Amino acid sequence: MISIDTGKTITTIIEEGINNTPNLKLKEKKIPPFLGCLIADKFGKTLFSYELFNGSIDYFLKGNRENDKNKQDLDIHLIPMFISAFEAFSREINIQELSGFKLEGTNIKVQIIFSFDEYTIIFFLNPKVNLKLVENRIKNYFSHLFEVYRSDFNNIIKMGSVNFILHLKLLGRIWLEHLNEWYTSLNGIN
């Protein structure tokens, strides 16, 4: 049974849900299939991110470098800017219908999905993930999200604030958890 403190605002409850880091065997260095994603506008501005837990993308991109003296802070919000510039460059050199972009290493894979008119979705994945198995599921989720929450996304762009859409971040985390469970049961990865 779940107990809710009725003295808390809905925003506080949602923030606690977002900031609550589940036990995901983080220190065992097992990379879950889907770590999270960045949602950016077509100009490369990060609107917000979905993460399996707070800092999951950052943690797995940096690897086990906690004691590294030369470790620099990672600004993952530069990635959408790079992708936006790459997409603009592809139009300049007349690459038609650029369907996606992928960077893959032994520790992590970054998959970019360009299929949305106003938004770019950048996924951070375990390199063993076969995205073809879940591509339609992901596209359907985001198509539905952008349709149902169109006014929220328009407000993010107009106001430059995501404080009023914390419910979307919580929904995104829950969706990522389910996506990981589904993919793991399907493919046995992890």
1 within some domain: no
CA angle 8, 162, 120 (to 5 degrees): 140
Residue 125's domain comprises 10-187
4 within some domain: no
3 within some domain: no
- Model pLDDT, residue 115: 64
Rounded CA gap, 60 and 23, in Å? 15
- Model pLDDT, residue 91: 76
39 within some domain: yes
Q: What is the CATH number of the domain that holds 27?
A: 3.30.450.30
Q: Is the dihedral of CA 175, 111, 62, 188 positive or negative?
A: positive
Report pTM.
0.75
Q: For 146-190, how does the pLDDT look when each residue is reduced to its tens digit (9 = 90+)?
A: 999 998 888 887 877 767 678 888 899 999 999 999 999 987 665
Q: For 16-65, how does the pLDDT look when each residue is reduced to its tens digit (9 = 90+)?
A: 554 554 444 444 458 899 999 999 888 888 888 899 988 888 888 776 55
141 within some domain: yes
- Model pLDDT, residue 84: 81
CA angle 126, 87, 72 (to 5 degrees): 50
61 within some domain: yes
Average pLDDT over residues 82-106: 76
Rounded CA gap, 16 and 13, in Å? 5
118 within some domain: yes
Band (pLDDT 50/70/90 cuts) for residue 76 is confident
Q: For 120-138, how does the pLDDT look when each residue is reduced to its tens digit (9 = 90+)?
A: 899 999 989 998 899 899 9
2 within some domain: no
Counted domains in the chain:
1
